[in-house]
Amino acid sequence: MLKMQNIRKSYRSDTIETHALRDFSLEVKEGEFVSVTGPSGSGKTTFLNIAGLLETPTGGQYLLDGQEVGGLSDRDRSHLRNEKIGFIFQGFNLIPDLNLFDNIDVPLRYRGFNAKERRRRIEKSLEQVGLAARAKHLPAQLSGGQQQRVAIARALAGEPRFLLADEPTGNLDSLMARQVMELLEFVNEWGTTIIMVTHDPDLARRAHRNIQIVDGQVSDLRQVAQHKQSAIA
Amino acid sequence: MFGYYVSLALRSLRRTPVLSALMVAAIAVGVGAAMTTLTLNYMMSRNALAEKDSVLYAVQLDGWDPHEAADNPSEMPWQLTYQDSVNLLRSDIPSKQVAMHRWGGPISLENSDVRPFNADSRVTSRDFFALFDVPFLFGGTWSEEADQSPIHQLVLTSETNDKLFGGENSVGRTVNFNGVPFTVVGVTEHWQPSPKVHDLNNGHFNKSAEVFLPFGLHRAFEIYPWGNTNGWKSEEITSYEDRLNSDMVWLQYWVQLDSPKQVEAYRDFLTGYIREQKEQGRFPRPLKIGLSKPSEWLLLNEVVDGDDRMLNWLSLAFLLVCLVNAVALLLAKFLRKAPEAGVRRALGASRNAVFSQHLVESACVGLLGGLAGILLTLAGLSLIRQLQMGYMDRVASMDWTMMLAAIGLAVLSSLLAGFYPAWRISRTNPSIYLKTQ
């Protein structure tokens, strides 16, 4: 599903070159739920941005669904991102002046679906997250947990094979965090591969596998849910 | 996606009403100022004979001073002498031809309450109406004989007919012109070309004639033309006949030539005519003739002069200043929306999609600016009309072409203004905003 080999990413300012990822290698299989942990500045978000085709690596090889994505044009990368990848952010990143319906509509517009198909998918995904009745509400009219559920609905509407979550519960209280986590587990059970960056060790343990990034490299791999792994296999 | 981008643009404009209003105002003021001057220039340089531009020709003959060319860019006198005009009228090559000049006099009705008034008139050969496509409301042009001998027939314009006869069909009725009774043979519909392409010697934008009189009246009335009469040599003129036979130029001459073959034949005819005249001691300068289409005639006569063109450039420079302001405002607005652009990029929008979305928003600003610019232009033109600068009330008006041009200019300007801000936002790194929102 996702295979990174010797990925490097460095940022250069006038005088300093910062290495965000160094010889970073990782393979994620279809249907896995992988949590990513590590100290601040270790390269977790950079990894997620590269995995989500928002940034290009300085070096190394990245295969998504067996396709080398390094040489793709911006248009092809955007198309791939829209079709195969869903994003969930810590800050929800809903567009404030669009109602829930229109927020979820955004990725579907870029996919080129007709109005009928877009409506079907939006209504279905809002139902999945339990917010069908609030389609015409603006994000500001919802609680944080509800906003994150809308963000998940938006990510799911395109039926991606691959969900990237950057601290999806970071801005939520424990009850809402648990609800969001249960939703992600539910989505994963339906076959969507999930990579989730988190600082919360309890949430990290609930994934099939946890990887730790330190100084831009994978430092530790732990199997945390062998029974789920075997179920996937 | 275009419709989607338009809806996003309108939503974005509503979200920041003050900034949006400033951008629209910047475009509107620039377009308003530019379109006011461009409209004046457009109306001043408009070719009222455009529909016949390919077949009508103003005729010039170089019968001027052998030592000094006439003072105009074509180096030929603008007008013809009476004797040359009469000679050229004998040619049967042109489909239609007109020798004419401006004149005038008091016009009145017997036993009527209508007060006599001075009417600007045009003494012309009968083809005038057909050649310049002047439509008739009643009747038609005078007889062929009236171009040769003094027959008291005339044609009124609808405006003059309204004054004298209250708009009734006056064909066959009698009016007094210069104290002499004339029979009305025709009434033209409203015809007021501006600029007055057919006679640029007597004010480019002056009103056209109110009465048309036959060419055959000259000797009987000893008609001295109103308008420019020019000569290059000292001639002893003791009688009206001397004047008619002099080398003074005072008549405008137009021909209609419907095919290139006809044009060639007429050139040969004019060349032959000048050679013939040279043998009689006239036309001392090197042989030169001019056949200018109406569009060329307007350029030769510099209807739009250098000052007018300079004003055009100044107004466009002002538009540029407004555009620079619009660029700054658009840049500020778009960069404020960078986080949203980052989200859209994450959700599958390509750089081109983000660029297009913002360019459409710029175009919407331009469209609104264009509409507001039209209102400002109309206000500017109205102000100019109120200044009562003579002919300005006839040219200071905006037609549909210029309205569409105003919107086109506004949209084009805003697209230019929006290009850089849209490009900037499409090139920003989305990941920066996704984490920091």
The confidence score (pLDDT) of residue A145 equals 82
Q: Determine the residue of chain A that is closest to B10 in CA distance.
A: A97
* Token reading at B358: 């913002």
Sheet holding A162-166, edge to edge: A85-89, A162-166, A193-197, A33-37, A209-214, A217-223
Q: Which of B261, B292, B323 is the last residue of a domain?
A: B292
Q: pLDDT tens digits, residue range A141-175?
A: 988 888 888 988 898 888 888 899 888 887 777 77
**pLDDT for A13 beyond 80:** no
Q: Determine the residue of chain A that is closest to B338 in CA distance.
A: A95
Q: pLDDT tens digits, residue range A97-145?
A: 899 999 999 999 999 899 999 999 999 889 888 888 898 999 999 888 8
In this complex, is the C-beta atom of A210 within 8 Å of any C-beta atom belonging to chain B?
no
Q: Determine the residue of chain B that is closest to A48 in CA distance.
A: B431
In this structure, is residue B256 part of a structural domain?
Answer: yes
Contacts of B344 in chain A (CB under 8 A): 106, 110
Categorise residue B407: left if φ over 0, alpha if ψ from -120 to 50, beta otherwise.
alpha
For residue A51, give how far its alpha carbon lies from the nearest alpha carbon of chain B (Å): 12
Question: pLDDT grade, residue A220 (50/70/90)?
Answer: low
In this structure, is residue B38 part of a structural domain?
Answer: yes
Query: Do B262 and B309 lie in a common domain?
Result: no
| Residue from B6, B347, B350 whose CB has the most chain A CBs within 10 Å, to mutate | B347
**pLDDT for B61 beyond 90:** yes
For residue A226, give how far its alpha carbon lies from the nearest alpha carbon of chain B (Å): 32
In this structure, is residue B298 part of a structural domain?
Answer: no
The confidence score (pLDDT) of residue A225 equals 46
The confidence score (pLDDT) of residue A223 equals 46
Query: Do B268 and B382 lie in a common domain?
Result: no
Nearest to A78 among B4, B350, B429 (CB): B350
Domain count, chain B: 2
CB-CB under 8 Å, B431 with A54: yes
CB-CB under 8 Å, B4 with A97: no
Q: How many residues does chain B have?
A: 437
The predicted model gives B303-315 an average pLDDT of 76
Contacts of A115 in chain B (CB under 8 A): none
For residue A169, give how far its alpha carbon lies from the nearest alpha carbon of chain B (Å): 14
pLDDT cut 90: percent of chain A above it: 20
Say which residue the tokens 């039209």 belong to: B374
Categorise residue B178: left if φ over 0, alpha if ψ from -120 to 50, beta otherwise.
left
In this complex, is the C-beta atom of A158 within 8 Å of any C-beta atom belonging to chain B?
yes
In this complex, is the C-beta atom of B337 within 8 Å of any C-beta atom belonging to chain A?
no
Cross-strand pairs, A36 = A197, A211
Mean pLDDT of chain B: 88
CB-CB under 8 Å, B350 with A79: yes
- Contact predicate A204/A194, CB 8 Å: no
Asked which of A54-58, B73-77, B262-266, B318-322 is least confident by mean pLDDT, the reply is B73-77
Q: How many CA atoms lie less than 13 Å away from B40 in the CB half-sphere?
A: 26
Query: Do B36 and B65 lie in a common domain?
Result: no
Contacts of B349 in chain A (CB under 8 A): 78, 82, 110
Query: Do B239 and B350 lie in a common domain?
Result: no
Q: Determine the residue of chain A that is closest to B339 in CA distance.
A: A93
* Contacts across the A-B interface (CB distance below 8 Å): 74
The confidence score (pLDDT) of residue A144 equals 83
Query: Do B387 and B407 lie in a common domain?
Result: yes
* Token reading at B398: 């905006």
Cross-strand pairs, B415 = none
Question: pLDDT grade, residue B390 (50/70/90)?
Answer: low
Say which residue the tokens 């990894």 belong to: A47
Other beta carbons less than 10 A from residue B222's beta carbon: 12
In this structure, is residue B97 part of a structural domain?
Answer: yes
Question: pLDDT grade, residue A227 (50/70/90)?
Answer: very low
For residue A42, give how far its alpha carbon lies from the nearest alpha carbon of chain B (Å): 15
For residue A65, give how far its alpha carbon lies from the nearest alpha carbon of chain B (Å): 17
Asked which of A57-71, B177-191, B384-398 is least confident by mean pLDDT, the reply is B384-398
Distance CA B108, CA B116 (A): 4
Q: pLDDT tens digits, residue range B203-248?
A: 777 788 999 999 999 999 899 998 889 898 888 889 999 999 999 9
Distance CA B368, CA B38 (A): 20
Distance CA A20, CA A35 (A): 19
Asked which of A12-26, A215-229, B291-305 is least confident by mean pLDDT, the reply is A215-229
Beta strand pairing status for B80-81 and B56-61?
unpaired
In this complex, is the C-beta atom of B430 within 8 Å of any C-beta atom belonging to chain A?
yes
- Contact predicate B231/B80, CB 8 Å: no
CB-CB under 8 Å, A89 with B434: yes
Contacts of B1 in chain A (CB under 8 A): 109
Contacts of A74 in chain B (CB under 8 A): 350-352
Q: Which of B292, B313, B344 is the last residue of a domain?
A: B292
The SS3 of residue B97 is: strand
In this structure, is residue B300 part of a structural domain?
Answer: no
Distance CA B222, CA B408 (A): 55
The confidence score (pLDDT) of residue B406 equals 80
For residue A227, give how far its alpha carbon lies from the nearest alpha carbon of chain B (Å): 33
Longest Cα separation, chain B: 100
Q: Determine the residue of chain B that is closest to A96 in CA distance.
A: B340
Query: Do B14 and B75 lie in a common domain?
Result: no
Domain that holds residue B338: 2-48+305-436
In this complex, is the C-beta atom of B6 within 8 Å of any C-beta atom belonging to chain A?
no
Q: pLDDT tens digits, residue range B24-49?
A: 998 888 888 888 888 877 777 777 78
In this complex, is the C-beta atom of A167 within 8 Å of any C-beta atom belonging to chain B?
no
Query: Do B159 and B216 lie in a common domain?
Result: yes
CB-CB under 8 Å, A79 with B351: no
CB-CB under 8 Å, B434 with A95: no
CB-CB under 8 Å, A45 with B347: no
In this complex, is the C-beta atom of A54 within 8 Å of any C-beta atom belonging to chain B?
yes
Question: pLDDT grade, residue A191 (50/70/90)?
Answer: confident
Domains of chain A: 2-232 (3.40.50.300)
Q: Report which of B15, B351, B340 is spatially closest to residue A89, judged by C-alpha positions.
A: B340
**pLDDT for A230 beyond 60:** no
Q: pLDDT tens digits, residue range B147-177?
A: 989 999 999 999 999 999 999 999 999 999 9
Query: Do B332 and B399 lie in a common domain?
Result: yes
Query: Do B367 and B272 lie in a common domain?
Result: no
Q: Assess: ipTM above 0.90.
A: no
Mean pLDDT of chain A: 85
Contacts of A154 in chain B (CB under 8 A): 347
The confidence score (pLDDT) of residue B73 equals 54
| Secondary structure letter of residue B50 according to DSSP | G
- Contact predicate B191/B157, CB 8 Å: yes
Contacts of B343 in chain A (CB under 8 A): 93-95, 106
Query: Do B169 and B248 lie in a common domain?
Result: yes
| Beta carbons within 8 Å of B295's beta carbon, 6+ residues apart | B47, B50, B53
**pLDDT for B321 beyond 50:** yes
Query: Do B31 and B64 lie in a common domain?
Result: no
How far apart are the two ends of chain B, measured CA to CA in Å?
Answer: 26
For residue B419, give how far its alpha carbon lies from the nearest alpha carbon of chain A (Å): 19
In this structure, is residue B353 part of a structural domain?
Answer: yes
Q: Report which of A205, A207, A194 is spatially closest to residue A165, judged by C-alpha positions.
A: A194
CB-CB under 8 Å, B437 with A95: no
The confidence score (pLDDT) of residue A12 equals 82
The confidence score (pLDDT) of residue A224 equals 44
Q: In which element (H, E) is residue B177 found?
A: strand B174-177
Q: pLDDT tens digits, residue range B87-118?
A: 999 999 999 999 999 999 999 998 888 889 99
**pLDDT for A228 beyond 70:** no
In this complex, is the C-beta atom of A91 within 8 Å of any C-beta atom belonging to chain B?
yes
CB-CB under 8 Å, A78 with B346: no
In this complex, is the C-beta atom of B90 within 8 Å of any C-beta atom belonging to chain A?
no
Query: Do B89 and B137 lie in a common domain?
Result: yes
In this structure, is residue B299 part of a structural domain?
Answer: no
For residue A231, give how far its alpha carbon lies from the nearest alpha carbon of chain B (Å): 31
The confidence score (pLDDT) of residue B72 equals 62
* Token reading at A86: 């869903």
Q: Which of B227, B262, B292 is the last residue of a domain?
A: B292
CB-CB under 8 Å, B350 with A74: yes
Dihedral, CA atoms, B100, B105, B109, B111, nearest 10 degrees? -160
CB-CB under 8 Å, A106 with B347: yes
In this structure, is residue B297 part of a structural domain?
Answer: no
Distance CA A165, CA A168 (A): 6
Name the residue type at position B203.
Answer: G
The confidence score (pLDDT) of residue A231 equals 43
The confidence score (pLDDT) of residue B271 equals 96
